Structure formats: C-alpha cells, structure tokens
Chain A
Amino acid sequence: MSVEIRKIFTVVEEIRVEGGRPVNPPTRRAAAVAVIRNPYANQFVDDLSKLSDIGEELGDILPRRAVEALGIDGSAVESFGKAAVVGADGELEHAAAILHPKLGAPFRTILGKGAALIPSSKKRGGLGAPIDIPLGHKDAAKVRSHFDGMEVRVPDAPRDDEIVVAIAVTDSGRPHPRVGGLTKEEVKGEDGLV
C-alpha cells in the first residue's frame, strides 16, 4: 500500500530572543506533517502491517522535508521527535502502527546517525487538534539541554477518516539552557542514552 497524502505542512520556528536576551545563533526547529487517509477507519483489523509500511514511507518523506526547510545537512540535526493524531474513526493503535515499527529507520538514514529512541506521542483528535511533538537529542536521550517539544496543528485535519503524522527536527537545543545534566559535548552516542 502506498501512502495517500492529502497535504503536507512544514513549519520552521526560529527563536531570536528568549527571556529578554538575544539567542545567538537563534535556535531553530522544523516540523513536517502529512495528512493521510486512514485505510482502517471504522474497521477493526488485526494485522496493521500496511500502516507500518506507510510509516516507513513517511519516515523518508517527512524528515527530508523538515531537514530541507532548515537548510542544513541531515547530519547537523541535533534532536528529533515524532507524533500522530488519529481522526475520530480510527484507533490509537493505528497511530502506533505508523510511528513505531518502521518509521525510524529511514528517518535515521537521513540523519546519518540517531542512536537514541525517537521520542513520540499520539492521540485521537478532531480537526485542528494541536499535538506536542516531544523532542530529544538524536544520539543520547539524556542530553538535558535538548529535552523540548514543538506544538503543531493542521486546521482542517484530521477529518474522521484521516491521520495526521508529524516529525520534528532541530539544529539546536532549548534557548539559554541552564539546568545542567548531560551536555551535547559529552555525548558518547553508543547506547542511545549517554
């Protein structure tokens, strides 16, 4: 099954001033969001592997768009995340089937690495439902400066038989990080944690 995309939304946020102080260079993050038809709306299906194949396609299409929107090389991405909003006639498990089994591999290929778990969230919602994509460092989940989140929404989606699938990437952590913990300079990047 090839993914049936109705629209793709990309957004870049650049924070130049935070807490009254300039952020130099600005922190930047991008999300790419696809609105797709849910082939299993209103039906309970045991085998969701086709949705996982859709996840694999989107794991290539969406990170490519977001990295391009940032105008950087995939290897320069510092943190990442993913999320989905299932329309009213779908199941949370549909979102899980898209996000978890196969989306990560092509995503990591585009970034060159990505030893860490890709943080994720999912929910069911109506048109325009906002979702917060959790963000974490791509090679070491414990990098504290890179714990973050990015809110996205598509005003006309998901319709009842649709799913909104989102990924986010950044070229930086939070603006003015100062709560300690593991820093990006200390990352080993082997086990995905530190």
Chain B
Amino acid sequence: MSDIPIKKLVVQIEEIFHEGGPRAEKPLKRGAVLAVVENPFAGRYVEEIAGFMEDLKPVGLTMARKLLEAMGGDASEIEAYGKGAIVGGAGELEHGALWHNPGGYAMRELLGDTKAIVPSTKKVGGPGARIDIPVAHVNAAYVRSHFDAIEVGINDSPRANEIVLVLAMTTGSRIHARVGGLAAKDIKGEDGLR
C-alpha cells in the first residue's frame, strides 16, 4: 500500500437555524470534507486500476476523522451521509468510481455498523467544478426526511491530473422536513432500506 499525499484539504460545516419557517430547537449541521489527490492514471488508459482503492483507504480515514471532529466528534449524532468525487480533465469517470469502496469504508469505520448504502455521485470536471453530494439516512435509505444534498467544490481543484474526493455527513433531517414517508423513528434498521 502506497502513501497517497493529500495536496489540499477542505472542511466545511453549515449550521442551519431555519429556512423561513420556525427556528429549530437544535440547529441542523451539514458538513463535508474534500481532499485533493493526484490521479495516478491521468492522461492514459490503464486497465488495472482497482488496487488504488486500497491506497485510498487511509486517505478516507483521515478525511472521515477530520469531518467527524468538525461535526462535534460524537459519532452517534451523525444521522445521514454521502460521498462523491470530481475527476480532473485528464482522468476518467471510472477513476471516480474507485472512491466507492474506500469512502464508504472510512465512514463505517467511524460511525459504527451503519446499515444503509452511502449514496454517491461523481463527475469529470475542471477547477472550481461544483458537485451535489447526495445524502441519506445512515441506517435506512428510505427515510424521506433525511434525503438531502450538499453542494461543494474547491475553486482551484481538480486540475487535470487530480481527483477531489468528498465525504459528507449531517446531524438530522432537512430543517423543515414535512413531506411524510418513512420517519427515522419508525425504521427497523436491519436491511439498510427501512
């Protein structure tokens, strides 16, 4: 396993008090961590790329730790999560897919045995490209109040030979969630769906 240097690290936290409705008793926190790393496959087609997933695991853990710390440090407070990647112009969308496994692994390591799939998105983009990281409940993907998305980006990244890796966490539902569906209090939390 080789040590992947992080070139730039960004941690952002949004604390939301209201969105035009009643002020929340407990503000919603939505956080994201972004790491810029070199894309070892940029500029050419490489058939065997899967080994890079193992290399990304420590990067993922560093990112997840930074984010959880910025969110207050208590894993039990994290109710939803998501992940994503922006691959620079000399790379392939498939390089972004390498983030699925290590990104999810990193958050599960810290948040305990979460059941739900970590929703994800990816794209190829230039410096300053924005990406909407989908977010859903950590134990039951169908919890409607927790479907959300966090827009992130870094003004100078990714360069053509870089990848921006993203993890996201929130402490609860949308601030004025009121469209019904499965509620967090009603989940079984066995199959990751309901």
Contacts and interface: CB of A to CB of B under 8 A. Distances in A.
Given A130-B155, A155-B151, A7 B7 contact: no
Contacts of A6: 16-20
A16 B19 contact: no
Interface string A133-154: 0000000000000000001001
Given A16-B6, A130-B155, A11 B12 contact: yes
A21 to B, nearest CB: 11
A154 B13 CA distance: 11
Contact of B70 (A15, A16, A17, A69): A69
Nearest to A10: B13
Interface in A1-43: 5-18, 22, 26
Interface in B142-157: 151, 154-155
Nearest to B18: A6
A8 B9 CA distance: 20
B15 interface: yes
A14 B36 CA distance: 10
A16 B5 CA distance: 8
Q: Chain B, interface size: which category? A: 20 to 34
B20 to A, nearest CB: 8
A163 B50 CA distance: 46
A16 B7 contact: yes
Contacts of B6: 16-17
B188 interface: no
Nearest to A7: B16
A10 B12 CA distance: 5
Interface in A125-179: 128, 130, 151, 154-155
A10 B69 CA distance: 14
Contact of B8 (A11, A14, A130): A14
A69 B9 CA distance: 13
Contacts of A13: 8-10, 154
Nearest to A128: B151
Given A69-B70, A130-B155, A17 B14 contact: no
Given A14-B9, A16-B5, A8 B14 contact: yes
Contacts of A12: 10-12, 70
Nearest to A22: B5
A6 B175 CA distance: 11
B12 A9 contact: yes
Contacts of A9: 12-15
B8 A16 contact: yes
A7 B10 contact: no
A14 B6 CA distance: 10
Contacts of A15: 7-8
Nearest to B14: A9
Interface of A: 5-18, 22, 26, 69, 128, 130, 151, 154-155
22 contacts: A6-B20, A7-B14, A8-B17, A9-B12, A9-B13, A9-B15, A10-B13, A10-B15, A11-B10, A11-B13, A12-B10, A12-B12, A13-B9, A14-B10, A15-B8, A16-B5, A16-B6, A16-B7, A17-B7, A18-B7, A154-B14, A155-B130
Interface of B: 5-20, 70, 130, 151, 154-155
A-B interface, 10 closest residue pairs, ranked by CB to CB distance from nearest: A17-B7, A11-B12, A155-B151, A14-B9, A151-B155, A7-B16, A8-B15, A9-B14, A12-B11, A13-B10
